[in-house]
Amino acid sequence: MATTTDPAAGARTAGTASDGDGPAIELEGVAKTYRAGRSTVTAVRHLDLAVAPGEYFAVVGPSGCGKTTTLRMIGGFEEPTAGTVRLAGRDVTGVPPDRRDVNTVFQSYALFPHMSVADNVAFGLRRRRVPAAEVRRRVGDMLDLVELTGVASRRPGRLSGGQQQRVALARALVNRPGALLLDEPLGALDPLLRQAMRAELKRLQREVGATFVHVTHDQGEALAMADRLAVMAGGRVRQTGAPAEVYERPADRFVAGFVGAANLLTGTVRTSAGGDGYAAVDLDGGQRVRAATAAGPGARIDLTVRPEKIRIAAAGTEGPDGGANLLRGTVRDAVYQGPATHYTVLVAGAGAAEPVELVVHRQNSAAAGPALRVGAEVRLTWPPEHSHVLGPA
Amino acid sequence: MRPRAVPYLLALPAWLWLGVFFVLPLCGMLSVSLMTGDLLSGFTQTFHLGTYAEAVQRYRVQLLRSLLYGGSATLVCLVIGYPVAYWIAFHAGRSRGGYLLLLLLPFFVSFVLRTVAWQFVLADDGVVLGTLKDAGLLPEGARVLNSAPAVVFGLAYAFLPFMVLPIYAVLDRMDRRLVEAARDLYAGRAAAFLRVVLPYSLPGVSAGVLMTFVPASSDYVNAAVLGGPGTTMIGNVIQTQFLVNNAYPTAAALTFTLMAVLLLGILGYALAAGTERMAGGRG
Ligand SMILES: Nc1ncnc2c1ncn2[C@@H]1O[C@H](COP(=O)(O)OP(=O)(O)O)[C@@H](O)[C@H]1O
Ligand SMILES: [Mg+2]
């Protein structure tokens, strides 16, 4: 075999050629229904997704929402019951995993127990008939990159969880796949290691410049690591966007509640938006707030306010509110969390309807006043741009 | 109270059992193999080693034949048993238990009875051969019984589950993601099997080979029922020497020789299989 060109390139098949700026991975109308005897389970209902080349993309959602199924359809381990999967612009629906230019880091790592770490990492290159000298070089480089050179000749069973995880990463990345698929890659690690591995994964991704698709049920992980993320629920994508976008402007009640803590409020538009773009909204608890919405008077709307967007102060310490939303209430609960204290405030309502409880996070910074006690009368203020109006749930 | 003694105490009945029913008879047998004499004048202990040389010399052919038949039966078991184990473990889904039961069902019937049943099935004018002969598909003189293949296939039939079960046990607990990982890393179906499934299952294969080879080599029922004068195995010789000729020292010496040969074989095999498993790791 000629060694003047990268032989791996010749062995690469479906979906390698990068055609301009098209998405590295594209799912169009993808659905998956499992059949188990006479019963069926629809794991993925209807999925449209596009992941750009070089992007760190996260898929986040509660357990059972279809994340693993989605990843397995990209990897080629499950065939969609409807829709199309494209890798670098090429339709790979029906193409087996060994002829797709993506590699998977399995949730349980699935390292070959009967092979050394080095042989595990070399597996893909050898299957693609890369010359032995190049295999040795690339495996060596990759083990250096994940700092496993010292254990190259050991069996995976003798390694710690963190080391096994890095072997799984190395075994996939050494093939320089068009995209790397990671299923809960940090799920099996203890919390301290998990934090460290977040940074490690990001570093790896930057260094190899590959497209990463990272599946997790941990919204904190998704927010911290992803360039863009998709929030899934019930086999559908609820929202796709940059972490700040998804967090600050959640599309619906589900996303608002799943990604970070949220105060969910329901109310009726009283007067439609004026010149400043804010409408007056009567909350079901009787309070009135202002929020940006195009809805006309009488329309029912849901809105959220993130706990850290609300200023909490003891009643009487009146300051300029500059057109901010103002609610008065009583502290029901205060939980000291170190950097911040989480308050639950019962907001006094005008009507006889159910009382409204708001969660407020206050940084315990140098500028913060004295701690507020349970039972203290407080005033809550936030700028109306942080009253985020939700779409239909 | 010394808690460390507890495991040993718990194992005591097992040790006693082994001592009374295995070690003692073995010592007795060893003693008999060194005696001289005959049934009429009685046997006396003379520490006569010559019996071994004589017996091995006289029954060399049967000894080698036993190893050959045992080895062939093991090979047949492996060729038939591996796919069966693989299929049950990977493709039988929830009916795995049912298929295993089917595999074991014939073994609820006595060993001898099953062998006799084969004799009936394979008889010169029996169900199979008779029908084929009537149909003109086989010459009138064709026979299966009393031939080496009949004995080998009888042995293979008798010990097939001993091959299937250990291989099945290993494959059944194998993480299916390993196969997917191999496919993910550009291995086709065949490469995934050869590089991952097969090496992974080698401990089961080793166990199966030993569990088949040892009893098959020392069996005498199949040779007696399905074989003829030309297929006598060492087990048949030992049986005859013990029960018919009452040549106890010769029978005991042959028994020990067979044990020694099998033990050496196992040892050599274990060493070879051990290194081979390591070599299997070379991607
Ligand atoms: N092989 C399968 N057969 C039948 N049902 C399955 C299979 N795999 C997953 N499911 C079901 O599909 C749904 C989605 O599963 P999964 O994709 O694993 O979700 P997630 O990874 O988000 O937890 C679940 O209800 C699960 O029980
Ligand atoms: Mg999952």
DSSP code per residue over A372-392: PPTT-EEEEEE-GGGSEEP--
Q: How confident is the model at residue A20 (pLDDT cuts 50, 70, 90)?
A: low
Atom nearest to A67 CA in ligand 1: 22
**Average pLDDT in the A54-66 region?**
96
**Average pLDDT in the A292-317 region?**
89
**DSSP reduced 3-state for B259:** helix
Whose tokens are 């497209």? That residue is A211
Which of A298-302, A356-360, B17-21, B272-276 shows the lowest mean pLDDT across its residues? B272-276
From the CB of A64, is ligand 1 less than 6 Å away?
yes
Atom nearest to A235 CA in ligand 1: 14
B198-217 vs B148-172: helix axis angle to the nearest 10?
A: 140
**Rounded CA separation A332/A375 (Å):** 6
Q: How confident is the model at residue B127 (pLDDT cuts 50, 70, 90)?
A: confident
| Inter-chain touch B200–A113, beta carbons under 8 Å | yes
**DSSP reduced 3-state for A269:** strand
Q: Which residues contact A269 (CB under 8 A, 6 or more apart)?
A: A279, A280, A281, A293, A295, A296, A297, A298, A299, A301
Q: Which ligand has an atom closest to residue A69 CA?
A: 1
**Average pLDDT in the A337-361 region?**
82
Pairs of CB atoms within 8 A across A/B? 75
Is pLDDT above 90 for B266? no
R_g of chain B computed on alpha carbons: 23
CATH of A25-255, one of 3.20.20.120, 3.40.50.300, 3.40.140.80, 3.40.50.720: 3.40.50.300
- B95 contact A CB<8A: no
Atom nearest to A217 CA in ligand 1: 22
Length, in residues, of chain B: 283
Contacts of A98 in chain B (CB under 8 A): 183-188
**Average pLDDT in the A74-94 region?**
95
Q: How confident is the model at residue B139 (pLDDT cuts 50, 70, 90)?
A: confident
Is pLDDT above 90 for A392? no
Q: How far is CA B34 from CA A98, B39, B242, in A?
A: 65, 15, 15
Tell which of A34, A102, A127 to mutate to test the B interface (max B CBs under 10 Å): A127
**DSSP reduced 3-state for A253:** helix
Other residues' Cβ atoms within 10 Å of the Cβ of residue B60: 11
Q: Residue A279 forms beta bridges with which residues?
A: A291
Tell me what pLDDT residue A296 has: 86
Mean of all residue pLDDT scores within chain B: 90
**Of chain B residues 202-221, which have a CB less than 8 A from chain A?**
202
From the CB of A219, is ligand 1 less than 6 Å away?
no
Closest Cα in chain A, distance from residue B179 (Å): 9
**Closest residue of B to A104, CA-based?**
B184
Whose tokens are 């105060």? That residue is A263
Tell me what pLDDT residue A350 has: 56
Is pLDDT above 50 for A3? no
Which of A141-145, A388-392, B73-77, B237-241 shows the lowest mean pLDDT across its residues? A388-392
**Closest residue of B to A11, CA-based?**
B186
| Inter-chain touch A112–B280, beta carbons under 8 Å | no
| Of the candidates A5, A120, A74, the residue with the CA atom closest to the CA atom of residue B187 | A120
Residue A27 Cα to ligand 1 middle (Å)? 18
Closest residue by Cα to atom 16, ligand 1, is A66
Could you tell me if B147 and B160 are in contact, meaning their C-beta atoms sit under 8 angstroms apart? no
Is pLDDT above 80 for A368? no
**DSSP reduced 3-state for A83:** strand
The letter for the amino acid at A24 is: A
Across chain A, where does the E strand assignment appear? 25-36, 39-51, 56-60, 82-87, 90-91, 102-105, 179-183, 211-216, 228-233, 236-241, 263-271, 278-283, 288-292, 300-305, 311-314, 325-336, 340-347, 356-363, 377-382, 388-389
CATH architecture of B52-278: Orthogonal Bundle (1.10)
Q: In chain A, what are the domain boundaries?
A: 25-255, 261-390
B60-91 vs B96-104: helix axis angle to the nearest 10?
A: 160
Tell me what pLDDT residue B5 has: 84
**Rounded CA separation B177/A107 (Å):** 9
Residues with CB under 5 A from ligand 2 (ion): A 68
**Average pLDDT in the A96-118 region?**
95
Tell me what pLDDT residue A353 has: 60
Judging by DSSP bridges, how do beta strands A102-105 and A179-183 pair with one another? Answer: parallel
Is it true that A25-255 and A261-390 share their CATH fold?
Answer: no
Which of A231-240, A280-289, B174-183 shows the lowest mean pLDDT across its residues? A280-289
CATH says A261-390 is which class?
mainly beta
Could you tell me if B73 and B159 are in contact, meaning their C-beta atoms sit under 8 angstroms apart? yes
What token pair was written down for B269? 């095999």
**Average pLDDT in the A324-340 region?**
91
Q: In chain B, what are the domain boundaries?
A: 52-278
Q: Residue A25 forms beta bridges with which residues?
A: A51, A87
Q: Of all residues in chain B, what percent carry a pLDDT higher than 70?
A: 96
Tell me what pLDDT residue B277 has: 54
Q: Which ligand has an atom closest to residue A233 CA?
A: 1
Segment (H or E) for A240: strand A236-241
State the Cα torsion B245-B247-B248-B250 to the nearest 10°.
-130
**Rounded CA separation A300/A183 (Å):** 39
**Rounded CA separation A171/B278 (Å):** 20
**Average pLDDT in the B101-116 region?**
89
**Average pLDDT in the B224-231 region?**
92
Is pLDDT above 90 for A248? yes
